Amino acid sequence: MSSGVHIAFYRFVRIDDVAAFCDRLRELTDGLLGTVLVAEEGVNGMLAAPQGQIDAFISAAAEDETLGRAFDGITYKRTAYDRIPFSRMMVKAKKEIVPLGIDGLDMPARVDDVAATDVPPSEWRDLIQRDDVVVLDNRNSFEFEVGRFRGAVDPRVVNFRDFREYVEQHAPQWRDEGKQVAMYCTGGIRCEKASPWMQDLGLKVHQLQGGILNYFKEIPDADADFEGECFVFDNRVTLDTKLQDVGRDRGEIDG
């Protein structure tokens, strides 16, 4: 057991030289643990270390000549840990920082469209209780089974790419019925990637700002709306609505 700080972050921003970006990121994350994905569309990562090391990385990345455009002003979601979340440090170049499989979806150019769909945690509770709103869980089905917002729909998908098929099948009915879509995911990135594409389908889309973890952070009685725990993709496995490590073993989760 070793206490420290876990940070999760992402940003859709154009990165012209992915290889150089990765090389510099490997230098600045030396001594940290976690995974960072880099693509032409942006950066997506999770890091863990004692607080001093995390703070040093945040400052250095924001001021760095190579990384600063992506990291200066980026939003970090912080949680404390007692169980070390990761066993190694990896920086990977990818085609997408989160795969949706939609050709021609230029996320850096659609950032303003995405921002328009954000719903702060303080307004989420009222939104998801409306009769004209479909509450859509934008995660894998096993994550839904671990915990979900009350009344949410499980698209029953195995991976994020399958989400596309579910939405395409149901979009005509939602439009005909005048339904709006309120969707959520763990930290927000899957919703951000899907939002502009769903807008292009003619849907009125809302997304929970910062995802489930931000809702837990901002809403003291989050358990009034959320059943179960939130699956996280690290050694802590799940967090409760107080952002506490429940102490599960990964073998307990059928994913």
Lookup: tokens for 136: 């859509």
Q: State the first-to-last Cα distance of the chain, in angstroms, to the nearest integer.
A: 25
- Three-class secondary structure assignment of 70-123: HHCCCCEEEEEECCCCCCCEEEEECCCCCCCCCCCCCHHHHHHHHHCCEECHHH
Q: Is 230 a catalytic residue?
A: no
CB atoms within 10 A of CB 1: 6
The DSSP string of 110-177 is GHHHHHTTEE-HHHHHHHHT-TTEEEEE-S-HHHHHHEEETT-B----SSHHHHHHHHHHHHHHHHHT
Tokens of 121: 């945690």
Compute the radius of gyration of the chain from its Cα atoms: 18
Query: Quick check: 33 and 7 in contact, CB under 8 A?
Result: no
The Cβ of residue 150 has, within 10 Å, a number of other Cβ atoms equal to 11
Q: Which of 22, 185, 191, 230 is catalytic?
A: 185
- The residues annotated as belonging to the active site are 185
